[in-house]
Structure 1
Amino acid sequence: MILIEKALKYCNDVVNGEEITTDEVKKQCEIFLNDYNINQYDDNFEFCFSKKKLKVINDLLKLLNYATGFVAGKNVLDGLVGFQALFLCALFGWRYKNDLNKFRYRDIVLFIPRKNAKTFIVAVIFILLMLTEQKYSEFYSICIDRDLARELRKAMAQIIEASPVIAKHFFVSESDIGKIKCKLTNSFYLPRTSKANKNNSIRPACVCCDEVGAFTTNDNIQAMRKGQLSVKNPIMAKTTTAYAESDSVMLEELEYDRAVLDGTISNPRIFSLIYYCTREEAWTEEGLYKANPLRIEENYQEIRNDRETAKIKTSEQEELFTKNFNIFLETNEMNKYINIDYWKKCRVDKVDFDGEEVIVGIDLSVTTDLTAVGIMYKKNNKIYCNSHGFLPRESLKTRREDIDYVAYERLDYCDIHDGMTVDYEKVEEYVRSIEKVHNCKIKAIVTDPMNAKEMMGRLGNDYDVVLLKQTYTNLSPATKEFRKKIYDGLVLYKKNELLDWNMRNATTSKGKADDEMLNKENKNKQRIDMVVVLIFCYTELIDDGNNYSAIDILDSMDW
């Protein structure tokens, strides 16, 4: 049988090292071969591989034709490559010994880069299931938005239209988000978006969570899963490329899948193929082949060209890493302000402000946001600094970030005020106490003029207050130079894990003249306020010792 022959050849090539791939795929192939050759004949093993059931799938694949690409018009069975055949054999071949109509695998995972026919193979699976599963079965795909959701439906419609023997048994709605219905079984497929409250009261036989790497919550997936409780053959398929998304639910899924593959967790009902490479491998031919199992040279050459471009145009590296090499990145990682490891090298247990002239930076939030006050001075070309946070107690219950602010308050990283809004009076008290607590002299206070004008007016009666609008012109020099100081090891800051977290979150945006400033978008999720105040402070220190006066220079010249 062609299908199982292709699958077994792929598994053997992987295990024998003839196929360049990931350790995870190698482990999955080893499991498949052990179960196929040995375990299924053990009376205590509850699954078997049904060649009779697979023969039906094998023959149906002869009737399906490719609609697009280099193999358009060719029948699907002949065109399938090894990993695709393995994926189909795992799903349709493995059954329960005591009920050959029940699939072994409840969950199937395909983590694979773009240009590897991910959507195509899922479309084929859905068509096959609609033809072979129980009558009146329901099939759905969920995506983060409607545009992505229609991609799987489009692939299904194209395959059906390109396969005349099969096409007469399907009704395909003219709407690009409409139903596809199998006339033989009265089963239907419908694309949906990933809104949990919209995915209740349905009974899916199979759900494809497509591009699940973009999901930041499991609510939509769980809503679908709960709807499968009364289904005989429930299947949850998770397919995706990587994303630059720190909170992706796929990161946790991959850790679980790896734990199953290495035997840490026992779950014989999940099958996963995980393709990717490391960031270092992405620049090599081995990484190219390891991450991309669909062996099409035209695709490889296109990726090579993109890779060469990305070496020069670094702004394109995020797309290259995530979509062509399946490397998950942190949100905005390619725009990260600093390598956090270098920042942590600057950490000390204590910063002594005694007898120094300091700059104070204040970033005042509007209401419930994180407020911060920074203190900084420069001595012997080194920067000494500290940052402190403030937030209202009543906001803790609804804050989106997973931070234990109460514990951080005990460590003196922040102050928590009673109420639902930031207490500006207590912030002002903190600022006014700096000179007494640290035995130092406030040289200037730097703040954004937008918030708490009354408070800054009062402070202005006793201190030199600098109102600094947050523009590229005002902030770019300090932003860049402070980062250079960090990389040069010339910054010392008092240990503060809340400040570290803010620094990890910090990203930058660039202006037209390559100016750069901290990016304060999406602040509800990515707090950076305690870093902002340090940049504010450094605006007053950046020219310290390097003041340039055109008049003085002209006066010193011999006219």
Structure 2
Amino acid sequence: MNWVLERVFNYCDDILSGKIKASIKHKWAIQRFLKDYRDCQSDDSPFYFDEEVAEDFYWWANEFEHVEGVLAGQKVELNDFQLFISVNIFCFKKKRNGARRFRKVYIQLARKNAKSQFLAIVGSYIAFLGNEKQRMYIAGWQKDQSDEVYIAVRDGINSSDLLDGRWKEAYGKIEVYNNGSVIVPLSRETRKTGDGKNPSVGIVDEYHNHLTSEIYDVLLSGMVARKEPLMFVITTAGFDLSRPCFVEYEYVSRILNPDDDTENDDYFGIICELDPGDDIKDESNWIKANPIVATYEEGLASIRSDLKTALDVPEKMRSFLTKTMNVWVDMKEGGYIPANKWKAGEIEAFEMNGRDVYIGVDLSKKIDLTSVGYVFPTDYGFHVGQHSFMPEEALAERRAKDKVPYDVWIEEGWMDVTPGAVVDYSFVEQWIMDFINNNELNVILFCYDPYGATQFAQNMANYGLTIVEVRQGFPTLSEPTKEFRDYVYQNNDHQKKITHVGDKVLSWAVGNAIAEMAANESIKLSKSKSRERIDPIAAIITAFVQARYATFDSGDGNISFISIHDL
């Protein structure tokens, strides 16, 4: 066994023994490698292990120089994590023809962990060595993304004295003199021009950005004639679980899981991420997602800085979790509240009879959703709910356009239709008064946006309610919007600060809500940036602007002032 392979096996021991902290899926990848290596020793195995390639790849990488960062100008010294990956990709071979075993590779780890540099080394190793003409395509969703990786590959090759004079760059691609191999940046637009035919290597960078799998599929289908193709995906986690990268992530997770029956001998994968329940503030966990960055002080300092920003500015937490902790987060860009945080506040029922309540309205357009939100001060925080309205004649069209089951929600009692083609506000007024009278509620304030709702509010005043304007700008909404979210974030198995009864319309609206940020980091919910409807949560926030100052009388003479700052 050569010294490079000894390093790899020592690394495996350190991971499995716990000397080096790693995610469960990283450990599964280690276990899979050790099993595959043992199996290769059997005469019955269709594969063999070429130990010499491990050292060849190490010395090839050592010909390159770091082109940026604290190591700029120094020779590349692959660390044990990178050696482990390279040994898997290049050392396992098929006995029948000597070709590489793995045809597909999926690597998911946090940003700044030398992904582009590693791609440059892998790509050049395949392109420059051997007599076969290689066609390597670097595929981003947009052209500039492909170009970014291509530039990293080019700069890496350019740093090698060994390769000086053995390649040229022409017409936006790298050409290798001795075998005619090419390295080309590619995006989804170029599929229409016929580029990307007969690829031997496809590199898909940051696959989580790809809205569809079209460019991945085009490259993969074009490899059928190749003896040893390599489809290479390297990415961080993302925030949209409907995208093809998450599908791939789940599939690779099943391949790695020793308790899952899913097998694919052609597919190598490794996933470095925080495990469920890991504390993001615990620095010892960071190496799970950052097998390179978390091994030196400058890298740790960068993560500390990113974490502080994310804790101070919750709008940036999604980016921190996906890019730095490599955790998939089901939350839109600028998303207001993650689904799991909102779900944690769900209760089976709430007794509202006789309570104080704050009511807010979001009238929206008469052909769209109109919502009434209500907020009850409680001894633990607040209970919230909503009821929405839609014109009957617009129901079918809106159901088709919004792709949500409005008809089912109506049957379940979360919303109503009003007669005609537009929302009948008198119907909404009557619902509000019935809601108040049937539950014997004490309405402290009726809150409304003066833009477009003044007459509606005046009608409410005529019923005897105290009305108050709530303007929908940053100065009015920022602090209440942040405070409401802070309460929701405190929900857990032991305490609940904001509760709701699992209203499907409200949960849908919360999931749709996008927080718009001003230059001074003020925020408010944005209807223009939220692709789906947010009227129910907007109505609740309007009521919460005043409800957050409420006092709560427990009935025993003890009156408490409710404020997030006291928690």
TM-score (norm 1): 0.77
Task: State how many pairs are aligned.
Answer: 530
Change (3 A) 1:239 1:100: same
- 2:177 aligned with 1:193, yes or no? no
For residues 13-24 of structure 1, what are the structure 2 equivalents within 5 Å? 13-24=14-25
Match of 2:284 in 1: 286
Match of 2:563 in 1: none
Q: Give the deviation of 1:424 after TM superposition.
A: 1.9
Q: CA contact under 8 A between 2:208 and 2:238: conserved in structure 1?
A: yes
- 2:135 aligned with 1:138, yes or no? yes
The CA distance in 2 between the partners of 1:460 and 1:93, in whole Å, is 76
Percent of matched pairs sharing the same residue: 19
The CA distance in 1 between the partners of 2:376 and 2:295, in whole Å, is 58
Which amino acid letter does the alignment assign opposite residue 286 of structure 2? Answer: L
Cα displacement string for residues 91-140 of structure 1 (whole angstroms, at most 9, x for unaligned residues): 22222222213x32122112122332111111111112212467443221
Change (3 A) 1:208 1:395: farther
State which drifts further: 457-466 or 306-315: 457-466
State which drifts further: 57-66 or 495-504: 57-66
State which drifts further: 218-227 or 103-112: 218-227
Q: Give the deviation of 1:210 after TM superposition.
A: 0.7
Q: Give the deviation of 1:239 after TM superposition.
A: 0.9
The CA distance in 2 between the partners of 1:75 and 1:540, in whole Å, is 62
Change (3 A) 1:388 1:38: same
Which amino acid letter does the alignment assign opposite residue 536 of structure 1? Answer: T
Change (3 A) 1:352 1:195: farther
Q: RMSD over aligned Cα, in angstroms?
A: 4.4
Q: CA contact under 8 A between 1:196 and 1:219: conserved in structure 2?
A: no
Cα displacement string for residues 481-522 of structure 1 (whole angstroms, at most 9, x for unaligned residues): 666787686866554122123234445456678755334353
Match of 1:497 in 2: 504
The CA distance in 2 between the partners of 1:129 and 1:533, in whole Å, is 59
Which amino acid letter does the alignment assign opposite residue 169 of structure 2? Answer: V
Match of 2:218 in 1: 223
Q: CA contact under 8 A between 2:200 and 2:228: conserved in structure 1?
A: yes
State which drifts further: 279-288 or 372-381: 372-381
The CA distance in 1 between the partners of 2:304 and 2:215, in whole Å, is 38
- Structure 1 segments unaligned to the other structure (5+ residues): 547-559
Match of 1:549 in 2: none
Match of 1:556 in 2: none
Change (3 A) 1:393 1:227: farther
Match of 1:361 in 2: 361
State which drifts further: 105-114 or 215-224: 215-224
Q: CA contact under 8 A between 2:211 and 2:243: conserved in structure 1?
A: yes
Change (3 A) 1:208 1:356: same
State which drifts further: 292-301 or 85-94: 292-301
- 2:535 aligned with 1:536, yes or no? no
The CA distance in 2 between the partners of 1:303 and 1:388, in whole Å, is 46
For residues 90-109 of structure 1, what are the structure 2 equivalents within 5 Å? 90-101=88-99, 103-109=100-106
Structure 1 counterpart of 2:206, from 205, 211, 214: 211
Q: CA contact under 8 A between 1:46 and 1:96: conserved in structure 2?
A: yes
State which drifts further: 341-350 or 230-239: 341-350
For residues 240-389 of structure 1, what are the structure 2 equivalents within 5 Å? 240-245=235-240, 247=242, 249-263=244-258, 264=260, 265-278=262-275, 280-294=278-292, 296-303=295-302, 305-306=304-305, 309-310=308-309, 313-314=312-313, 320-331=320-331, 336-337=336-337, 341=341, 345=345, 347-349=347-349, 359=359, 361-365=361-365, 371-376=369-374, 385-388=385-388
Structure 1 counterpart of 2:116, from 116, 119, 125: 119
The CA distance in 1 between the partners of 2:479 and 2:56, in whole Å, is 68
Q: Give the deviation of 1:329 after TM superposition.
A: 3.5
Match of 2:234, SS?
strand
Cα displacement string for residues 220-278 of structure 1 (whole angstroms, at most 9, x for unaligned residues): 32333333344443322111223455655433333222211113111122111222235
Which amino acid letter does the alignment assign opposite residue 422 of structure 2? Answer: Y
Q: Give the deviation of 1:457 after TM superposition.
A: 10
Match of 1:88 in 2: 86
The CA distance in 2 between the partners of 1:415 and 1:231, in whole Å, is 60
Q: Give the deviation of 1:531 after TM superposition.
A: 0.7
Q: CA contact under 8 A between 1:246 and 1:330: conserved in structure 2?
A: yes
- Structure 2 segments unaligned to the other structure (5+ residues): 553-567
The CA distance in 2 between the partners of 1:410 and 1:134, in whole Å, is 69
Match of 1:374, SS?
strand
Match of 1:38, SS?
helix
Q: Give the deviation of 1:532 after TM superposition.
A: 0.8
The CA distance in 2 between the partners of 1:53 and 1:384, in whole Å, is 63
Match of 1:393 in 2: 396
Q: CA contact under 8 A between 2:336 and 2:510: conserved in structure 1?
A: no
Change (3 A) 1:482 1:166: closer
Change (3 A) 1:365 1:127: farther
Which amino acid letter does the alignment assign opposite residue 92 of structure 1? Answer: F
The CA distance in 2 between the partners of 1:75 and 1:384, in whole Å, is 60
The CA distance in 2 between the partners of 1:483 and 1:54, in whole Å, is 51
Match of 1:424, SS?
coil
Which amino acid letter does the alignment assign opposite residue 31 of structure 1? Answer: R
Which amino acid letter does the alignment assign opposite residue 470 of structure 1? Answer: Q
Match of 1:85, SS?
helix
Change (3 A) 1:364 1:4: same
Cα displacement string for residues 340-374 of structure 1 (whole angstroms, at most 9, x for unaligned residues): 5566545444766799998461342486x6x1321
Match of 1:8, SS?
helix
Match of 1:282, SS?
coil
